[in-house]
Chains A and B, each alone.
Chain A
Amino acid sequence: MTVTPLITRPEGLYCPAGDFHIDPVRPVARALITHGHADHARAGHGAVLATAQTLDIMALRYGEGFTQSRQVADGQVRIGDVTVSFHPAGHVLGSAQIKVAGVGPSVVVTGDYARQPNAACAPWEPVPCDIFVTEATFALPVFRHPDPLAEIGKLLASVAAFPDRAHLVGAYALGKAQRVIMLLRQAGYDAPIYIHGALQKLCDYHLSQGVPLGDLRPATVARGKKGDFAGAIIIAPPSAFAATWAQRFPDPVICFASGWMMVRARARQRGVELPLVISDHVDWPELTATITELNPSETWVTHGREDAILRWCALQGRVARPLRLVGYEDEPE
């Protein structure tokens, strides 16, 4: 391969032929953004191209002035000598994989992606490409995420077993929180779900986009007593558990919805009493199946546990290389 459509720079992935970055970790002139999580979508770029929902989410989080100019990704977009297109990634609302074609081999950058059904966003689509640029957050054979409805079943069983306690579910504000709510609704839980103030804007936005989250109420007790939240499910960003905010609930059961909860030591370190293995990333079987299915001529690994997936590719006789991009978190807070 003589032409390299993407190169790595300190700012992140860069396309020389189109003079743009994808998910840059520092302000740049022109950025293509895969999704709204803070480590991928940062404020301060000159121009941003992203899905309409990702642009909305960035505006909600950073204010309308998060970029000087913005453009909604719609169909094939010509930038310099290349054509880019956005395809659903199944990770969070608005999340997309970005395909870059026209100069040298075609490339798909996944951003973060998931293949489990998620009622809070559009499902992942396979996009044929020569070079597959994948994340590797859960790229270890130990990560095989269980059926999320079975995990929600655990939560509901615990609520039934401890009706006097409040269940505090830690879930990141964008994506995971709405996913958990939708899973609860799918499991037939139609009682009000209480949410931390930090989730309000994003939950409202999901409702406006047609995600039926049901009856959500603020988890505030202006004049309330501790017993008010007995038996209730409260969803909050995990950081809230460290705040005095958590002191208002009766003998709470601390739950955390994350793919990391597969590993006991991780769950215990966080003081979690009820780990819920609910992930919005591909697990090991999904990642390896995706590479097999797309059958790219090269696989590049952006961030995560690249050692294991590189080893797997080697065993399969596949060409793979680590990009070792820095600045992306395992799961954004």
Chain B
Amino acid sequence: MIGAFAELLERLAFTPQRNRKLDHLRQFFAAQPDPERGLALAALTGDLGLRAVTPSLLRGLASDRLDPELFAISYDFVGDLAETIALAWPDAVPGPEVPLSELVAELQDTPKARLPGAIAGRLDALGPSQRYAYLKLATGGLRVGVSARLARQAVADFGALALAEVEELWHGLTPPYAALFAWAEGAPKPISAARAPFRPVMLSTAIDLEGLQALDPADHVAEWKWDGIRVQAVADQGARRLYSRTGDDISGAFPDLLAALDFEGVIDGELLVRRGDVVAPFNELQTRLGRKSPSAKLQASHPAALRAYDLLLWGERDLRGESFATRRAALEQAVVGLDTARVDLSALLPFSTWDDLAQLRADPPDAVIEGVMIKHRASPYLGGRIKGHWFKWKRDPMRVDAVLLYAQRGHGKRSGYYSDFTFGVWDGGALVPVGKAYFGFTDAELKELDRFVRNNTVERFGPVRAVAPKMVVEVAFEGLNRSPRHKSGVAMRFPRIARIRADKPAGEADTLESLRAFLSN
């Protein structure tokens, strides 16, 4: 029913914590029958496939019912079109509860010319929060902070299923996922009928030089760990797909690479923007990510390429049970004949001792390398993060000493604590904000930071406090990109507060100039 769905959206929208979101979703799946829960799931994962209802259609509807000036004043205040219409739509007599299935079918089947009338009729029969849920359903974008993966995780939790199995199955399933929910409730696992399905990706565990001492270098190979997006490229009887490591289908954004997947099989690799031998930094790849249909111009300026790490299937052959060495030999054969501008091989690194590897890692030949991967020669290809086969030895994080500038309170267990921090570095005589971090510190450090914020607040902006620029924190981060959206012109990746530098006066914190030295482009 749309009422239950509206309530779910409301809860999710106001629940910042991931685990709580999972709780809400699980409770919803348990309480709702098929096909309602499956349609809600599809709405969350973006798989409902409704013809999108456009903002201009909605504006037209609103101006039929409301004075345009009053609507404009309202929209200006609320800031969200669907929400403004949901709230300002003149109340009629709410009708009986409507199942999602009825609403979805109507949005799918109604001819375009009759769609505005059908939507207006529904809005007349729904209460305000249901109108909101309905409009969000109709327009796509739910914006409740639930990724497709989190939604699948909730289904897995609901049925005590392994997430990897749900993800493997996902692309063979269609809304309203009755077979999936039946499986979650004890029926046998559905059989995937889809071509080019996703296979669970093998992940590594972190290691360092000390941990490596227990391993024999001769049993292992090493490769560069590229800073792109780990993907699985699948070509199966004409169907070609590119999946993220969580099983999200990102094929649509990369038609140029898809065209080069001229084989039958499954290759595991890194998605990069690459021009000849030059790999572009991560943020160039990012510009291509969210584009559902990238322009020819963008495809030409930011060409997508795959750097192959592993081979799961080739022709009729399933290689996942074979050793890495066997798969690697097959992979080397497999890439021969593919367009080298689009698909190339990840190089194996020459080393005989871990110290050799440490030296390579300390001075990588390319800025877009974020460490090394170490793989046991005998390791089979296993989905999930299985210990003992693959290891990542990441480049040490970059570090900068920054000054705490603003703080905001956290949620849930951190309620009442200032736990979200904005920090800055010196630029001339002024401090310019360069990032935000809300983790990395210990509980004891959190208390110290909280106390500092309370005792040193100089100004309040709603929930945000500006603090006297006195406390220096060491911020660790994984990379630095140029960003025209930030005042500082740079954006950190995964910044976190590594420690409090009580020993350092604010005047000795780092400068924007020294931070810029970390730029990868």
B72-89 contacts to A, CB under 8 A, are 73-74, 77-80, 83-84, 87-88
| B504 on interface, CB distance cutoff 8 Å | no
| A61 on interface, CB distance cutoff 8 Å | no
Contact stretch, chosen from A184-192, A202-210, A267-275: A267-275
| B409 on interface, CB distance cutoff 8 Å | yes
Contact between chains at B462 and A269 (CB < 8 Å): yes
Cβ of A51 to closest chain B Cβ, rounded Å = 33
Partner of B69, one of A143, A146, A247, A311: A311
Q: Count residues on chain A whose CB falls below 8 Å from chain B CBs.
A: 38
Contact stretch, chosen from B49-57, B208-216, B254-262, B412-420: B412-420
Nearest-CB residue, chain A, relative to B454: A244
Contact between chains at B78 and A142 (CB < 8 Å): yes
Given contacts A242-B463, A275-B14, A311-B67, is CB(A264)–CB(B83) below 8 Å? yes
Q: Bound state CA distance, A162 and B140, in angstroms?
A: 31
Contact between chains at A140 and B67 (CB < 8 Å): no
Scan A236-262; emit 1 where CB is below 8 A from any B CB, else 0: 000001111111010110100000001
Contact between chains at A268 and B87 (CB < 8 Å): no
| B91 on interface, CB distance cutoff 8 Å | yes
Cβ of B509 to closest chain A Cβ, rounded Å = 27
Q: Bound state CA distance, A307 and B411, in angstroms?
A: 36
| A141 on interface, CB distance cutoff 8 Å | yes
A sample of 28 inter-chain contacts (CB < 8 A) reads A141-B87, A141-B88, A142-B78, A142-B88, A144-B87, A242-B463, A245-B416, A246-B416, A249-B416, A251-B412, A252-B415, A254-B411, A254-B415, A263-B83, A264-B13, A265-B78, A268-B13, A270-B462, A270-B463, A271-B463, A273-B411, A305-B73, A305-B77, A308-B70, A308-B74, A311-B69, A311-B70, A311-B73
| A315 on interface, CB distance cutoff 8 Å | yes
Cβ of B443 to closest chain A Cβ, rounded Å = 12
Cβ of B314 to closest chain A Cβ, rounded Å = 49
Scan A142-161; emit 1 where CB is below 8 A from any B CB, else 0: 11101000000000000001
| B66 on interface, CB distance cutoff 8 Å | yes
Cβ of A95 to closest chain B Cβ, rounded Å = 26
Q: Bound state CA distance, A241 and B463, in angstroms?
A: 10
Cβ of A249 to closest chain B Cβ, rounded Å = 7
Contact between chains at A307 and B73 (CB < 8 Å): yes
Contact between chains at A242 and B413 (CB < 8 Å): no
Q: Please, which residues of chain A bring their CB within 8 A of the CB of B78?
A: 142, 263, 265
Q: Please, which residues of chain B bring their CB within 8 A of the CB of A275?
A: 14
Nearest 7 A/B pairs, CB to CB: A246-B416, A142-B87, A247-B416, A141-B88, A142-B74, A142-B88, A308-B73
Cβ of A114 to closest chain B Cβ, rounded Å = 19
Q: Bound state CA distance, A305 and B15, in angstroms?
A: 30
Q: Bound state CA distance, A241 and B128, in angstroms?
A: 29
Nearest-CB residue, chain A, relative to B415: A252
Contact between chains at A243 and B416 (CB < 8 Å): yes
Contact between chains at B67 and A262 (CB < 8 Å): no
Q: Interface on A for B, CB 8 Å cutoff?
A: 140-144, 146, 161, 168, 241-247, 249, 251-252, 254, 262-265, 267-275, 305, 307-308, 311-312, 315
Q: Bound state CA distance, A243 and B457, in angstroms?
A: 12
Cβ of A234 to closest chain B Cβ, rounded Å = 12
Contact between chains at B80 and A265 (CB < 8 Å): yes
Q: Bound state CA distance, A321 and B417, in angstroms?
A: 46
Q: Bound state CA distance, A245 and B128, in angstroms?
A: 35
Q: Please, which residues of chain A bring their CB within 8 A of the CB of B416?
A: 241-247, 249, 252
Cβ of A168 to closest chain B Cβ, rounded Å = 8
B1-51 contacts to A, CB under 8 A, are 13-16, 27
Q: Please, which residues of chain A bring their CB within 8 A of the CB of B411?
A: 254, 271, 273
Cβ of B129 to closest chain A Cβ, rounded Å = 9
Contact between chains at B79 and A265 (CB < 8 Å): yes
Contact between chains at B463 and A262 (CB < 8 Å): no
Q: Please, which residues of chain A bring their CB within 8 A of the CB of B80?
A: 264-265
Nearest-CB residue, chain A, relative to B410: A271
Given contacts A249-B415, A274-B14, A311-B67, is CB(A140)–CB(B128) below 8 Å? no
Q: Bound state CA distance, A308 and B74, in angstroms?
A: 8
Q: Bound state CA distance, A315 and B88, in angstroms?
A: 17
Q: Bound state CA distance, A271 and B417, in angstroms?
A: 12
Q: Please, which residues of chain B bring their CB within 8 A of the CB of A245?
A: 416
Q: Please, which residues of chain B bring their CB within 8 A of the CB of A161?
A: 27
Which among A249, A262, A308, A315 has the highest number of chain B CB atoms within 10 Å? A308
Q: Bound state CA distance, A165 and B387, in angstroms?
A: 36
Q: Please, which residues of chain A bring their CB within 8 A of the CB of B91?
A: 144
B317-367 contacts to A, CB under 8 A, are none
Given contacts A251-B413, A311-B67, is CB(A142)–CB(B84) below 8 Å? yes
B60-107 contacts to A, CB under 8 A, are 66-67, 69-71, 73-74, 77-80, 83-84, 87-88, 91
Partner of B417, one of A247, A267, A274, A312: A247
Contact between chains at A272 and B14 (CB < 8 Å): yes
Cβ of B45 to closest chain A Cβ, rounded Å = 22
Q: Bound state CA distance, A303 and B30, in angstroms?
A: 48
Cβ of A209 to closest chain B Cβ, rounded Å = 33
Cβ of A220 to closest chain B Cβ, rounded Å = 15
Q: Please, which residues of chain A bring their CB within 8 A of the CB of B413?
A: 251
Q: Bound state CA distance, A275 and B83, in angstroms?
A: 15
Contact between chains at A315 and B67 (CB < 8 Å): yes
- Contacts A246-B416, A254-B415, A305-B73 known; list 10 others, CB within 8 Å: A141-B70, A144-B91, A144-B128, A243-B416, A247-B415, A249-B416, A254-B411, A263-B87, A273-B411, A312-B70
Q: Please, which residues of chain B bring their CB within 8 A of the CB of A142?
A: 74, 77-78, 84, 87-88
Q: Bound state CA distance, A270 and B69, in angstroms?
A: 29
Nearest-CB residue, chain B, relative to A249: B415
Q: Bound state CA distance, A312 and B66, in angstroms?
A: 11
Q: Please, which residues of chain A bring their CB within 8 A of the CB of B14?
A: 267-268, 272-275
Q: Bound state CA distance, A60 and B64, in angstroms?
A: 52
Q: Bound state CA distance, A265 and B81, in angstroms?
A: 12
Nearest-CB residue, chain A, relative to B145: A268
Q: Please, which residues of chain B bring their CB within 8 A of the CB of A273?
A: 14-16, 411
Scan B122-141; emit 1 where CB is below 8 A from any A CB, else 0: 00000010000000000000
Cβ of B272 to closest chain A Cβ, rounded Å = 36
Q: Please, which residues of chain A bring their CB within 8 A of the CB of B66?
A: 141
Q: Bound state CA distance, A311 and B27, in angstroms?
A: 45
Nearest-CB residue, chain B, relative to A314: B69
Q: Bound state CA distance, A158 and B87, in angstroms?
A: 24
Contact between chains at B74 and A241 (CB < 8 Å): no
Q: Bound state CA distance, A109 and B87, in angstroms?
A: 29
Q: Please, which residues of chain A bring their CB within 8 A of the CB of B415?
A: 168, 241, 246-247, 249, 251-252, 254
